A and B are shown apart, each in its own frame.
Chain A
Amino acid sequence: MSETVSKDLHPLEKTLLNWLSEYGPGSDTEIMAGTGMDEGSYRRALQWLLSRDMALILSSAKTVTVELGPIGSDNLEKGTIPELALLEAVGSGTSSLPEIQKNELFERAQWGSAMGALLKARILKKGPGGLVLNDPSGGVFPAIWSSVYSVISDGEIIHLSELDEKVAAEVSGRAPRRGKSRAEFVINETTSSVVEISAPGREAFENARGRSTIGILTREILASGEWKNGSFRRYQVDIPPSRIHIGRLHPYAMFLDSVREKLQAMGFQEMKGSLAESEFWNCDALFMPQFHPARDIHDAYYLEDGVEVEPPSRELGDKVKAAHENGGKTGGRGWEYTFEWDRSLKAIMRSQGTALSARTLGSNPDIPGKYFGIAKCFRYDQVDATHLPDFFQVEGIVLGEEINMRHLLGLLKLFATEVAGATEYKFVPAYFPFTEPSVELHVKHPTLGWFEMGGAGLFRREVCEPMGIDVPVIAWGLGLDRMALLALGLSDIRDLLNPDLARLREMKSTPEKLLGGEDNA
C-alpha cells in the first residue's frame, strides 16, 4: 500500500479504521456505538473501505422481526382482535353480522373482513339461522393472539422465523408493504454484519499515523531499538489456541496415585504381591471352603500346566487345612470336609486383593499396623462396559490389640469422608467368606448419590489363627471404579485402558476431583 493511498484516507475512514484496529472485529451496532457515527456515515465509510480491501466482512446475518402497526396497537389496547371477538359473539348466540356490527369495539368494516377471513378459513359457516361455528379450535387466530400479541405486550422481540408456519403466513399476509398507516403488523428486515480490519487496512492506517508496525518481536528489533519508533500490531487475543500434545501421566494412574496418597496420609503402608497366586493364598488362607458356592463367585483364571507359584510352607498349610476340616485351634468346628492340598497349590491369576492381606498376615506384620494394597485382580467375566479382564482393587488390613467393631466403623466413616468426600454414610450387614461380622459401607456422594463404596469386617479367627495372629484384624476393601470414571468424565470402564491415543488425549486430568478432604471441599 503506497503512501498516496493512505494519505487519501477520508476522516470517516480513519475513524472507522481507528476503531477496528483498536477494538475490532465488531458488529455494526458496536461500531456505531463505539465511534459515534450515524448509520449513514458508517455505511458510507464501510463501503469505501470494503471497495479497497481495507476491511473484511467476517459474517453477516439477516434478521426478520415482527412489530405491531397502528391497527395492531389498537387491537392490543382493546385486548382482542376482530376475529376472536366475532367468534366469541357467535359462540354466545349472536349469529348475524348486522347484530354483531352493533358492537362498536371495532369498525363495521373490520367486523366484515373478520367474518370474511373466518368463513374462508372454514372456521365459521353460514347456516339457515345465520353464522354457525364450524371449527371450535378457531384455527390460527387464537395463536396469533397468544404467540404474537401477548409476547409483544411482554416487551419481547418476535423473530418471524420462530413463529409457527401457519401463524407466520397469516402475520405476513397482514403486514402490507405499502399503506403502513393501516397495517396490523410491520415486518422489519435488517442485516447485521461483523467487520474486521484487513492487513492492508491496518498498514494504511498505521502509515496514515506515520508509524511502522511491528509484527513478531525479534531479537533484531530489540537490539536495534527499532521498536521505539514503531507500534505493535495488535494480536487477536480471543481466538482459540492451537492444540499441542504434551507429555503427561495417565489420568487413571493419577487417580490411583491420589488414593495411594490418601491412604498413606491415614497411616497405611503399602503391600505388593504377585499377579499369579496359589489358591492357597487367594482362597484357602481366607477360609473359603474348597467346595463352597462362595468360591464360585471367585471363578479364577488358571495358569498353564507346569507353571507354579512358590508353595506355602507345609506347616502353615497344615494349620489352614485343620481350620477348614475341623476348626483346628480356632475354637470353631470348621467346614467339616476333606481339604485337598493339591487344590491349594493350583496357580491362578489373583482374583481378589485380599490375597495380599493374607500374605501380610503370614509374614510377621507390625502390631499395631495398617496396610493397604492397590492390586491388579482378575475375574472370570465377559468384558463389557462395566467389566475389564483385569482391574484394580484397593484393600487392606488394620491390626491392633484394641481393635473392635467400633474402630471398623470409624475407619469406614473416615473412608467415606476422606476418600469419597461423602456427605452421608450408613453401614449395612454384609457377607464375606473371611470376615465375621461383615459390613458394607454405603455413602452418599454429592454427585453420584448413594452407592456401595466398600466392604469390611473383622477377619475370622479361622483366618488369623493359622497365621499366628492373635489380635483382632480389620479387613477392608474399596470399590473405586465408579469414582474413577466420574472423576475422569467417562462412562465406559474400557475407556480407562483405551489404546486410542487420540481419545486418551481427550481424557481429562482431574483425578482429584472426587476425592474428599479439605482441599477439595
Chain B
Amino acid sequence: MQWETVIGLEIHVQLATKSKIFSGSSTAFGAEPNTQASAVDLALPGTLPVPNEQAFRYAILFGLAIDAEINKRSVFERKNYFYPDLPKGYQTTQLDKPIVGPGHVEVDLPDGSSKTVRIHHAHLEEDAGKSLHEDFHGMSGIDLNRAGTPLIEIVTEPDMRSSEEAVAFAKKLHSIVTSLGICDGDMSQGSMRFDVNISVRPVGQEEYGTRTETKNLNSFRFMERAIKLEVERQIDVIEDGGRIVQETRLYDGDKDLSRSMRSKEEANDYRYFPCPDLLPVVFEDDYIEALKEQMPELPDARKARFVAQYSLSDYDASILSADAATAQYFETVAEHAGDAKLSANWVMGELSGRLNSEDILIQNCPVSAKALGQLVLRVKDGTISSSGAKKVFGILWQGEQNDVDQIIDQEGLKQVSDTGALEAMVDEVLAGMPDQIAQYKAADEKKRKKLMGGFMGPLMKASKGQGNPKLFNEILQRKLNG
C-alpha cells in the first residue's frame, strides 16, 4: 500500500529579551545554577508577575512577519500540572486568546517548488526550569535559571507531507525569527525546540490517521531522522495488523532510537483557567502600526534584494540571506571587497566550512567580516593567489592578527605581477625544457591544455610560489602558441 505522511509542528522559540517574561531576572545562558532565579521565578508566596513588554513586541513582530491576525486583547491562562522544574504548579500560558492568530509561511522546497504552511496560532508562555537526573544521593537536582524565560509557542496546521518539507519549514522559521532579531536561533542551547506530530494514512484517504508526538527535537538533522524513523515505525505497525496508539515519544539522537514516553490516553488534564494574577493585555492599532514600521528586512525580501543588488544566483542568494547574521557578514565582506560573487564564494566556501567543522556560529567568528573583505579584495586585485589567500585566512582564523596586508607582507605571499620579471622567468624555465616544448607543439588543442600544467609547476617553483598564475598562463600561451 502507498502511504502518505502528515506532519504538524509545535515550535518553542525562546525570545531574546534581557529579562524574564514575568520577573526582572536575567535570561543570560550559562550562569551558575539558580543565580538567575528570583522570588517570582521560585514561586515564593506573595509574589506577583509583571509582564515584560518586549516579549509582546517580539510576539507581535512575529505575527506581522507571518501575515497573521494580532489579537489586540490577549489573556493568560494557567495550565496546571506538577513537576519540580515548574515551582508554581502551573505554567502561565495562553489558550483561547493567544497574542498571534492564524497566519502562514511560504516555504521553498528542495525540488524548487514552494508551499504554504498555515500557522494555527502562536502564543506567549514561560519556559520551565531544568531537572538534572544525575545521582544526588537518589534525588534530582533542579536549576530554575531558565524558569520564566519568555517563549512563543508556534503551532502549525498539519500541512507538511514529508520530513524534507518539515525541515524546510523549520529552517524557514529559524530564518524568520533570527531576521526579526527576536530569537538568537542557537539550537544547541535550546533556543528553538520542535515537537513533531506525525501520522500516516493510505494515499487518497481524507481522514487523518492516529498521530504520535515526538518531543523536544533541537536540531534539523535529528528532526529529519526522528520523522523518518517514526513514519517507518507507524507503517510497520499498521502493515503488521496493529494500530497506532496516541502517545508522546522521545527521540534519542545519539542512539537514533525513539521510545514511548507516556500514553495520551492517561494524559494530564491540565484544567486551564484564566490567570487571576494577570489582567487582559491590550494593544491599540497605532501600537501595532508602529511596530510594522520598525519591521526589519525579512528573508524573502532580502533574498530578492541579493539577487537584484549583487547579481547572485538564486541558490547563493537563498543561502546567504537565510539568517540575519550571515547576511550581514556577507554584505560587509562584499562592501570591502567590491566583488559580490567572489565574496559569496568565500563566505559560503572557506568560511562556512571552517565554521561548520569547528561548530562556531558566524556571530562568534574569529575572522571579522572587514578582514575577510580586505582579503577578498587582495585576491581580486591580484596581490595574492587563491592558495596564498587560504594561508592568510588560516592566520586570521587564529584570531591574533587582523591586518591582511601585514600578514601578506610578513608571509611573503605577494604575487609577482611585474610582467617583465615574469617573462624573464618563463624564458629561463622554457630554455631548460626543449623536449616538453616539442611535445606540446605536436599535441592537439585538447592535449595542449593538459600539457600546460607541466610548465606551470616549474614556473611556480622558480618564482617561489609568488608568480601570478594568471599572468604566467598568459605569457606561456603567447610564447608557446605564437
A pairs with B: no
- Which B residues are within 8 Å of any A CB, using their own CB? none
List chain A positions with a Cβ less than 8 A from chain B: none
